[in-house]
């Protein structure tokens, strides 16, 4: 079969503040194939797709459609050219019925009103052609995720899409729904449609794809035919090898401080048992969405597990809530610093006392002790090198790195026994990242137990004394960083191997 | 003063001036002379002591209702139910006043506290519905307004109706003297400020000022105010910070309702000495405008209340002395609100840009 490319990108370059999201990205998609684009979070897959779909303009580079250069300035242009995209988060109107959602924006009208007969016959034909099984008159809010996703697909077909981009389509699906989706995709392929499938689940990718493009840190690092690919090579390509020498880790692990026994929170957490020791950093690795967030929310008291026991310093704790967690001596650096970690319109000083604002020395008989609050805030701003013109300034106006330092200063300054750090350096520049790394290592040396959750494997590998890998709500392996490399971790993270 | 404070004072001021300019255009279209109309409006309100007395008397209930709206707003809640809380609180206070006969030192606080409790209950209900079931407080406070009006209307028409009298509007019997809040003119006259005995300004005004201070203290100096503002700005981060947003929502609505419950005291205990059916005529809704114009700041609320007091007083004079209908005052009030609403948004953007440039 001759190579007929329906869609090509040539040397796409796109920066975001502090990140090179796409670095000379060139991909080629053949007509009528299912082409997977894989890579870790932040590898630049979604950015590239958003550029192809006209949501983002690249700084450099060209897009070719059937060999001819096109200028995709908006999603409307993309749709006109026959390119459609199903986003991770559906773009549907929940209280509308299925058919209303499908025609929205491209209504067939007769004398100013909707021409229901024509709409129905056209939609029926589409549904029959692709063997969809969808109730047209059901409201979208009543549909399971898998069906809602099909509505998104039909929406694109109704608009005449030839190239269908699916961004992590299986992320929200249960296994049976994945099977159905794959059948649908095969049906689409047999009708001559081209499908771009974005994922980081290697098993799925190997099942569905004709060809696979691997991206890492904004670059294309490999393009393989299905029969030349296996999970190991893909994982290796996806994660890459670290070139930097791993920081020497002095482990002075002491007594156990936190123990989880058979923690369950279906559907995300199947069963997790975990011990954390003083003076160690336990790295929690895993592809996002495999239960890490739920696990951390349970440890920090934000959600209650359905089952299981939690021991702190060998004493079982019941009915935990965030205030009690702090009182016990657990600090928490949440993943989403602007939503969870900070109150953006509160001042630096007000944010620094959050969590301890209700008790002495910050509140005395429910009265805020402002002199002490301001004194401590100034001290923390100085000690953690938080760049702000004053402690009265709203944290909204601080840079991301300085916002994170406010959180870190707050959580470290009360000398917790345990620190739960989730994505502590995500989106930060090198300087702030290094400072946060050295603060974590120093805290560990002083006997703190740190649970470090990060999607940056380099960070996990270089800081951790032990690494626990989560996959589909379970811990599938615990390693010393000396006995594993990233390829092996990648196999565990993608569910290929487990202990 | 920081640039931020200066801007936040100038913005509402500008809105008021613009509103009067637009009002002047409307007056011209009505075939009247705006200079004359505005002179009448102001000369009868703020150019003499008695006029000021009426203005402050008018402003008193607005201070309470404005504080009630502002407190809820700081907690991220829209208390549209102040009107209902006023009726419930006022009736509760009046009930103490007509059933208990004690020395004023005991009876006035008793009536006030009972009024606050019942007003607070009328805020607590939508608060608990929101915290427990996520029911939107706007809907429930509006609905509770109707219930409060209907309930007090029933009570004042049936069990508590004044007997042996034919009144155009149903009312309760007069409060015992222990529940009466006295007028201030004797004090003013003793201080050498001549105020006529017909001026209804009474000590409720000073009570309102005291509650401005208390609200400021609660919000800016107490741990509870910190938690209320935290939940209002970011409930997720508040929960992470060990605050229970559900509890704070209920607390905020209760306190807001309690402040609202005092909105009718000026009329019931300081002016008519009885509960008159439907006496409020929208004090609670004006409170929304007052809180908006005063930027939910207790000091700002005092000034905004005085402005609305001036407009109310001036409306009466305009009706009597000019051919301009008093409804014009409502037009001006509405325009002020619109300009403030637009101004807030513009100023917020301006501030953000200024701060970003300084970084």
B225 is a domain residue:
no
A 301-330: CB under 8 A from B = 302, 321-323, 326
Query: Which of B12, B1, B30 lies closest to B328, judged by CA?
Result: B30
Do A148 and A31 sit in the same domain of this protein? yes
Average pLDDT, chain B: 91
User: Is A342 in the B-facing interface, judged by CB distances under 8 Å?
Assistant: yes
Residue A435 corresponds to which tokens in the numbers above?
């400072």
Asked if A192 and A309 sit in the same domain, the reply is no
Residue at A115 is within a domain: yes
List Cα–Cα distances, B132 to B136, B230, B241, in angstroms.
11, 19, 20
Which residues of chain B have a CB within 8 Å of the CB of A304? none
- pLDDT for B101 beyond 50: yes
**Rg value, chain B, Cα:** 21
Alpha-carbon distance B353 to nearest alpha carbon in chain A (angstroms): 10
CA atoms of A375 and A352, how far apart (whole Å)? 11
Cβ of B241 within 8 Å of Cβ of A357? The answer is: yes
Over residues A474-479, the mean pLDDT reads 93
Q: Which of B218, B242, B246, B351 to mutate to test the interface with A (most CBs of A within 10 A)?
A: B242
Q: Token pair of A40, please? A: 């870790």
Residue of B nearest to A338 (CA): B237
Say if residue A288's pLDDT is above 80.
no
Contact call for A357 and B227, based on CB within 8 A: yes
% of chain A residues with pLDDT over 90: 54
Q: Residue A420 forms beta bridges with which residues? A: A332, A451
- B-chain residue closest to A352, CA distance: B241
The verdict on B359 touching A (C-beta cutoff 8 Å) is yes
pLDDT of amino acid B356: 58
pLDDT at A1 over 50: no
Q: Between these two residues, A146 and B190, which has the higher pLDDT value?
A: B190
The least confident of A226-240, A338-352, A358-372, A443-457 is A226-240
Q: What does the alpha-carbon distance between residue A98 and residue A118 come to, in Å, rounded to a whole number?
A: 16
| CA distance linking residue A435 with residue B265, whole number of Å | 59
Which of residues A474 and A458 earns the better pLDDT score?
A: A474
Exposure of B151 by Cβ count < 10 A (0-12 exposed, 13-18 middle, 19+ buried)?
Answer: middle
**Closest-CA distance of chain B to residue A74, Å:** 27
B224 CB within 8 Å of a chain A CB? yes
Residue B337 placed within a domain: no
The answer to whether A167 and A125 are in contact (CB under 8 A) is no
Contact B237 A341 (CB under 8 A): yes
Model pLDDT for residues B127-165, shown as the tens digit of each residue:
999 999 999 999 999 999 999 999 999 999 989 988 877
Q: Is residue A350 classed as helix, strand or coil in its secondary structure?
A: helix
What local confidence, expressed as pLDDT, does residue B158 receive?
87
Phi, psi dihedral angles at A422 (to 5 degrees):
-110, 120
- Could you give the CA distance from residue B89 to residue B64 in angstroms, rounded to a whole number? 12
Instruction: For chain B, say whether A397 makes contact (Cβ under 8 Å).
Output: yes
In chain B, what residues touch A371 (CB-CB under 8 Å)?
A: none
Mean pLDDT to the nearest integer, A232-242: 74
A194-199 and A163-167 strand pairing: parallel
Residue B33 lies in a domain: no
What does pTM read for this prediction? 0.76
Does residue B189 lie within any of the structural domains? yes
- The interface pTM score, or ipTM, of the predicted complex is 0.89
Q: What Rg do the C-alpha atoms of chain A give, in angstroms?
A: 25
Rounded to whole angstroms, the Cα distance separating A69 from A49 reads: 17
Q: Which of A112, B87, B354, B33 is nearest to B41 (CA)?
A: B33
Residue range A194-199: average pLDDT?
93
What is the predicted pLDDT for the residue at B197? Answer: 93
Which of A205, A239, A273 corresponds to the end of one domain? A239
What local confidence, expressed as pLDDT, does residue B358 receive? Answer: 55
The answer on pLDDT for B318 being more than 70 is yes
Give the H/E segment covering residue A5: strand A5-16
Q: How crowded is residue A69: how many other Cβ atoms within 10 Å of its Cβ?
A: 10
Q: Is the pLDDT of residue B359 over 50?
A: no
Assess if residue B159 is contained within a domain.
Answer: yes
**pLDDT band, very low/low/confident/very high, at B113 (cuts 50, 70, 90):** very high
CB contact under 8 A, A343 and B233: yes
DSSP state of B198: T
Mean pLDDT confidence for A140-146: 84
- Which of B237, B245, B351, B353 to substitute to test the interface with A, most A CBs within 10 Å? B237
CB contacts < 8 A (A, B)? 70
List Cβ neighbours of B276 (8 Å cut-off, separation of 6 or more).
B156, B169, B170, B171, B267
d(CA A361, nearest CA chain B) in Å: 12
Across the interface, of B223, B230, B359, the residue whose CB is closest to A343 is B230
Cα–Cα distances (Å) from B37 to A188, B30, B334, in that order, read 75, 11, 18
Q: Which residues of B touch A407 (CB under 8 A)?
A: none
pLDDT at position A106, please? 81
- Boundary of a domain, candidates A182, A213, A239: A239
Most confident of A288-292, B71-75, B292-296: B71-75
Catalogue the E-assigned strands of A131-170.
Answer: 163-167
Tokens of B304: 């905004």
Q: Are A413 and A333 in contact (CB under 8 A)?
A: no
Going by pLDDT thresholds of 50, 70 and 90, the confidence category of residue A249 is low
One domain for residues A136 and A260: no
What is the 8-class DSSP label of residue A340?
Answer: I
Q: Which H helix or E strand runs over B28?
A: helix B3-29
Using the Cβ of A370 and the Cβ atoms of chain B, whether some distance falls under 8 Å is answered with yes
pLDDT at site B225: 97
**Residue A248 in domain:** no
Give the pLDDT band (50/70/90) at residue B326.
confident
pLDDT at A228 over 80: yes
Q: Select from B226, B237, B244 the Cβ nearest to the Cβ of A357.
A: B226
pLDDT tens-place string over residues A412-461: 999 999 999 999 987 676 567 778 999 999 999 999 999 999 877 778 98
Q: Rounded to whole angstroms, how far apart are CA atoms A221 and B33?
A: 79
Across chain B, which distance is largest between two alpha carbons, in Å? 74
Q: Do B239 and A322 touch (CB under 8 A)?
A: yes
Interface test with B, best of A325, A334, A354 (most B CBs within 10 A): A354
Q: Is residue A498 part of a domain?
A: no
- Residue A286 — φ and ψ, nearest 5°? 160, 155
Whole-angstrom Cα distance, residue A44 to residue A20? 9
Find the angle CA(B308)-CA(B314)-CA(B318) to the nearest 5 degrees. Answer: 140
Closest CA to B292 of B34, B66, B51, B54: B66
- Does residue A312 share a domain with residue A210? no
Residue of chain B whose alpha carbon sits nearest to that of A358: B223
Helices B82-99 and B104-133 cross at an angle (nearest 10°) of 150
pLDDT-derived band at B307, boundaries 50, 70, 90: very high
Residue A424 covered by a domain: yes
Domain membership of residue B3 (yes or no) is no
Q: What is the pLDDT of residue B60?
A: 98
- Please say which residue of A239, A267, A284 terminates a domain: A239
Q: Look at A323 and B224 and tell me if their CB atoms are within 8 Å.
A: no
Indicate whether A234 and A297 sit together in one domain. no
Q: Residue A193: which residues within 8 A CB-CB, separation 6 or more?
A: A32, A157, A161, A162, A163, A164
Q: Number of folded domains in chain A?
A: 2
pLDDT at B352: 66
Residues A299, A186 share a domain: no
> B17: Cβ–Cβ under 8 A, 6 or more apart, which residues?
none
| Chain B residues whose beta carbon lies within 8 Å of the beta carbon of residue A300 | 240
pLDDT of residue A237: 84
Element (H or E) spanning A175, and its range? helix A175-190
* Residue A404 maps to a domain: yes
For A197-206, A335-344, A422-431, B94-103, which range has the lowest pLDDT when averaged over its residues?
Answer: A422-431
Stretch 229-248 of chain B: residues touching chain A, C-beta under 8 Å:
229-230, 233-234, 236-244
DSSP state of A455: S
Mean pLDDT calculated for residue range A89-117: 85
Residue at A378 is within a domain: yes
| Longest Cα–Cα distance in chain A | 80
**How far does B348 lie from chain A, in Å, by closest CA?**
12
What is the rounded CA–CA span in Å between residue A86 and residue A181? Answer: 13
Interatomic CA distance for residues B259 and B211, integer angstroms: 8
Q: Which residue of A has its CA nearest to B241?
A: A355
Domain identity same for A70 and A130: yes
A124 touches chain B (CB under 8 A): no
Query: What is the rounded CA–CA span in Å between residue B209 and residue B64?
Result: 9
Residues A52 and A179 in one domain: yes
Instruction: Report whether A342 contacts A407 (CB < 8 A).
Output: yes
A296, A324, A341, A343: which to substitute to probe chain B, counting the most B Cβ within 10 Å? A343
- The nearest CA of chain B is from the CA of A393 a distance in Å of 10
Residue B133 lies in a domain: yes
Separation of alpha carbons A383 and A374, rounded Å? 14
Residue A185 and residue A47 in one domain = yes
Yes or no, beta carbons of A342 and B239 under 8 Å apart: no
Please indicate, yes or no, whether residues A218 and A271 belong to a single structural domain of this protein.
no
Judge: B222–A354 Cβ closer than 8 Å, yes or no. Answer: no
- Report the distance separating Cα B74 and Cα B220, nearest Å: 11
Cβ-defined contact of A358 to B222 (cutoff 8 Å): no
Most confident of the ranges A130-139, A263-272, B211-220: B211-220
Domain co-membership, A226 together with A129: yes
Question: pLDDT-based confidence at B40, cuts 50/70/90?
Answer: confident
pLDDT band of residue A235 (cuts 50, 70, 90) is confident
CA angle B151-B327-B282, nearest 5°?
20
Edge-first strand order for the sheet with A449-453 is A315-317, A307-312, A256-265, A269-277, A474-479, A466-471, A281-285, A449-453, A418-422, A330-333
Give B225 to chain A, closest Cα distance, Å.
Answer: 9
Question: Is pLDDT above 90 for B123?
Answer: yes
Interface of B with A in 254-273 (CB under 8 A): none
In chain A, which residues have their Cβ closer than 8 Å to the Cβ of B238?
343
Structural domains of chain B, count: 1
- What is the percent of chain B with per-residue pLDDT over 70, rounded to a whole number? 96
Q: Is residue A245 part of a domain?
A: no
Which DSSP string corresponds to A64-113?
EETTEEE---SHHHHHHTTEEEE-SS----TTSBHHHHHHTTS--EETTE
Q: List residues bridging with A330 in a β-sheet.
A: A418
A416 and B CB contact within 8 Å: no
Quickly state the pLDDT bin for A250 (edges 50, 70, 90): low
Residues A178 and A283 in one domain: no
Q: Does residue A376 fall inside a structural domain? A: yes
Among the partner-chain residues B233, B237, B242, the one whose CB lies closest to the CB of A326 is: B242
Provide the domain limits for residue A393: 256-493
Query: Quick one: which of A355, A337, A276 has its CA closest to A311?
Result: A276
Tell me the residue range of the domain where B176 lies. 61-211+237-295
The pLDDT, as a whole number, for residue A175 is 65
Q: What is the CATH number of the domain that holds A407?
A: 3.40.50.300
pLDDT tens, position by position, B177-232: 999 999 999 999 999 989 999 999 999 999 999 999 999 999 999 999 999 999 99
Please answer yes or no on whether A355 and B241 come within 8 Å at the CB atom. yes
Q: Which residue, B302, B303, B332, is CA-closest to B315? A: B332
Of the candidate ranges A140-149, A244-253, A482-491, the one whose mean pLDDT is the lowest? A244-253
Provide the token pair at A66.
Answer: 């059937």
């Amino acid at each position: 079969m001759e190579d007929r490319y329906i869609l090509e990108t040539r040397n796409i370059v796109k920066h975001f503040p502090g990140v090179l999201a796409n670095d000379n990205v060139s991909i080629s998609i053949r007509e009528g194939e299912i082409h997977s684009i894989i890579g870790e979070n932040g590898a630049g897959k979604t950015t590239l797709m958003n550029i192809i779909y006209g949501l983002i303009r690249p700084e450099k580079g060209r897009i070719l459609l059937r060999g001819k250069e096109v200028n995709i300035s908006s999603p409307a242009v993309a749709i006109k050219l026959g390119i459609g995209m199903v986003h991770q988060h559906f773009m549907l109107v929940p209280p509308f019925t299925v058919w209303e959602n499908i025609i929205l924006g491209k209504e067939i009208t007769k004398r100013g009103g909707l021409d229901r007969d024509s709409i129905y016959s056209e939609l029926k034909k589409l549904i029959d052609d692709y063997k969809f099984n969808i109730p047209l008159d059901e409201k979208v809010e009543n549909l399971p995720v898998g069906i809602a996703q099909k509505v998104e697909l039909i929406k694109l077909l109704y608009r005449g899409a030839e190239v269908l981009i699916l961004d992590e389509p299986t992320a929200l699906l249960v296994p049976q729904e994945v099977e159905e989706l794959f059948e649908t995709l095969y049906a689409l392929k047999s009708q001559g449609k081209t499908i771009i499938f974005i994922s980081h689940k290697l098993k799925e990718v190997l099942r569905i794809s004709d060809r696979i493009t691997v991206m890492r840190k904004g670059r294309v690092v490999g393009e393989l035919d299905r029969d030349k690919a296996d999970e190991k090579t893909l994982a290796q390509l996806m994660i890459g090898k670290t070139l930097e020498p791993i920081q020497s880790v002095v482990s002075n692990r002491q007594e156990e401080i936190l123990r989880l026994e058979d923690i369950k929170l279906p559907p995300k957490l199947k069963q997790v048992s975990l011990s954390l020791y003083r003076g160690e950093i336990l790295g929690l690795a895993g592809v996002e969405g495999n239960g890490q967030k739920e696990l951390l929310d349970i440890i920090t008291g934000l959600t209650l597990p359905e089952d299981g026991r939690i021991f702190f310093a060998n004493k079982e704790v019941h009915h935990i809530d965030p205030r009690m967690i702090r009182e016990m001596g657990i600090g928490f650096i949440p993943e989403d610093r602007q939503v969870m970690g900070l109150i953006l319109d509160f001042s630096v000083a007000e944010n620094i006392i959050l969590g301890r604002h209700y008790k002495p020395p910050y509140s005395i008989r429910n009265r805020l002790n402002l002199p002490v609050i301001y004194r401590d805030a100034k001290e923390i701003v100085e000690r953690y090198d938080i760049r702000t013109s004053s402690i009265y300034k709203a944290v909204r106006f601080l840079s991301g790195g300085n916002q994170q330092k406010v959180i870190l200063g707050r959580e470290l300054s009360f000398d917790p026994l345990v620190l739960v750090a989730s994505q502590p350096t995500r989106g930060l520049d090198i300087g702030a990242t290094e400072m946060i790394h050295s603060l974590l290592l120093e805290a560990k040396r002083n006997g703190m137990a740190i649970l470090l959750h990060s999607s940056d494997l380099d960070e996990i590998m270089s800081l951790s004394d032990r690494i626990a890998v989560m996959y589909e709500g379970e811990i599938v392996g615990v390693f010393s960083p000396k006995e594993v490399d990233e390829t092996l971790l990648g196999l565990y993270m993608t569910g290929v191997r487990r202990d | 003063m920081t640039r931020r404070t200066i801007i936040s004072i100038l913005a509402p001021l500008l809105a008021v001036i613009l509103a009067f300019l637009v009002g002047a255009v409307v007056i011209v279209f009505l075939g009247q002379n705006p200079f004359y109309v505005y002179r009448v409006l102001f000369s009868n309100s703020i150019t003499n002591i008695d006029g000021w007395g009426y203005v402050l008397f008018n402003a008193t209930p607005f201070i309470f209702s404005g504080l009630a709206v502002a407190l809820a707003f700081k907690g991220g809640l829209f208390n549209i139910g102040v009107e209902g809380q006023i009726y419930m609180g006022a009736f509760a206070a009046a009930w103490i006043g007509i059933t208990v006969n004690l020395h004023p030192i005991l009876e006035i606080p008793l009536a006030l506290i009972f009024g606050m409790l019942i007003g607070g209950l009328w805020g607590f209900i939508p608060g608990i519905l929101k915290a427990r079931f996520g029911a939107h407080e706007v809907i429930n406070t509006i609905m509770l307004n109707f219930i409060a009006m209907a309930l007090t209307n029933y009570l004042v028409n049936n069990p508590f109706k004044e007997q042996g009298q034919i009144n155009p509007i149903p009312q309760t019997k007069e409060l015992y003297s222990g529940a009466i809040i006295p007028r201030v003119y004797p004090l003013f006259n003793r201080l050498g400020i001549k105020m006529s005995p017909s001026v209804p300004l009474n000590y409720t005004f000073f009570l309102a000022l005291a509650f401005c201070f208390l609200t400021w203290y609660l919000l800016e100096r107490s741990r509870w105010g910190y938690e209320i503002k935290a939940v209002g700005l970011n409930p997720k981060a508040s929960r992470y910070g060990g605050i229970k947003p559900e509890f704070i929502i209920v607390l905020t609505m209760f306190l807001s309702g309690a402040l609202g419950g005092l909105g009718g005291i000026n009329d019931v205990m300081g002016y008519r000495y009885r509960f008159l059916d439907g006496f409020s005529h929208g004090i609670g809704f004006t409170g929304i405008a007052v809180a908006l114009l005063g930027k939910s700041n207790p000091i700002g609320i005092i000034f905004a209340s005085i402005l609305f007091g001036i407009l109310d007083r001036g409306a009466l004079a305009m009706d009597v002395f000019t051919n301009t209908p008093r409804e014009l005052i409502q037009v001006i009030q509405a325009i002020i609100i619109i300009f403030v609403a637009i101004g807030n948004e513009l100023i917020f953007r301006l501030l953000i840009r200024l701060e970003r440039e300084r970084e």
